[in-house]
Amino acid sequence: MKIYRFFSIIFTVFSILQSTVSAQEIKTDSTSIISKDSLTSQQSKEYNLNYKKLIIPGVLIGYGVASLTIDGLKQLNLSTRYEISEHKPNHTKLDNYTQYAPAVLVYGLNLAGIEGKHNLKDRTIIYVTSQMISAAMVLPLKSLTKEERPDGSNHQSFPSGHTAAAFSSAQFMFREYKDTNFWLSISGYPIAVFTGVYRALNNKHWVGDIVAGAGFGILSTEMAYWLYPKINKWIFKNKEDSQTIISPYYQDKAFGFALVKRF
């Protein structure tokens, strides 16, 4: 089917770009002098948001936005939908779960002893942040663009939220394992592609919605890693001087808990 070929090309190009960027980062790191200062510099660079990390999501988002107005890309949306309707594939709800599968794999691998870059607390902060950023970008755009879904159920089609969550999770897995096991780190992307493909096969999204969703998902995770040091410092600043007290209360026949935090 055309959509499978289309996403195969997208994934191949995506993998090549990721491999190229990672190879450049590894080459740069290998030429660094191993010292306390260089290690600090490498750690700081890990959370930088440089232009190389924005190329892939920028291209994907750009394609998605262009598909809303450019006739040729709109025609591709329509022809893909027509081809899907001809084959009448069975609908599945697996895409509701696979969107989070790469992130679940990260936690599972850590439990199995295959440690990623961050500990439980740090990676949870990063992942939750990425999902919040993704939602903050995707949800308002759905209301602003008012793109009708292929099945006509509503006007919340652009961009694909499921695909954004899936690629956000896959990028999270990539960032956690790219320095220790590259092939393991990219194993989340086929799952993300599966999610995107089935958003089209389930007649819920156009191709452009899915491509843009992938871009927003990757971008949200990159932004989460960039923001992590700032968020971590804000949450845990002056930890030794702060106190948190949780106490039960009963008032007006209602029982509950009161949280008091002193900074």
CB atoms within 10 A of CB 16: 10
- For the stretch 193-241, pLDDT in tens is 999 999 999 999 999 999 999 999 999 999 999 999 999 888 877 555 5
Closest CA to 226 of 130, 99, 141: 130
Asked if residues 231 and 130 have their Cβ atoms less than 8 Å apart, the reply is: no
**Quick check: 168 pLDDT over 50?**
yes
Rounded-to-integer distance, Cα 49 and Cα 256, Å: 43
Mapping DSSP to helix (H, G, I), strand (E, B) and coil, where does residue 28 land?
helix
DSSP secondary structure letters along 33-64? --SHHHHHHHHHHHT---THHHHHHHHHHHHH
Burial class (CB in 10 A: 0-12, 13-18, 19+), 117: middle
- Average pLDDT for the chain: 82
Burial class of 42 by CB neighbour count within 10 A (0 to 12, 13 to 18, 19+)? middle
Whether 31 shows a pLDDT value over 90: the answer reads no
Let me know: does 189 contact 238? Beta carbons within 8 Å.
no
The domains of the chain are located at 2-237
| pLDDT score, position 34 | 40
pLDDT grade for 257, boundaries at 50, 70 and 90 = low
SS3 262: strand
Distance between CA 138 and CA 168 in Å, rounded?
12
Amino acid at 140: P
What per-residue confidence (pLDDT) applies to 166? Answer: 97
Cβ atoms of residues 18 and 186 within 8 Å: yes
**Angle in degrees, CA 57, 58, 61, rounded to 5:** 80
**Structural contact between residues 64 and 159, judged by C-beta atoms closer than 8 angstroms:** yes
More confident residue, 46 or 78: 78
Let me know: does 32 contact 38? Beta carbons within 8 Å.
yes
CA distance 174 to 100: 14
pLDDT value at 6 more than 70: no
Q: Which residue has the higher pLDDT, 40 or 97?
A: 97
Q: What is the pLDDT of residues 97-148, one digit of tens each?
A: 999 999 999 999 999 999 999 999 999 999 999 999 999 999 999 999 999 9
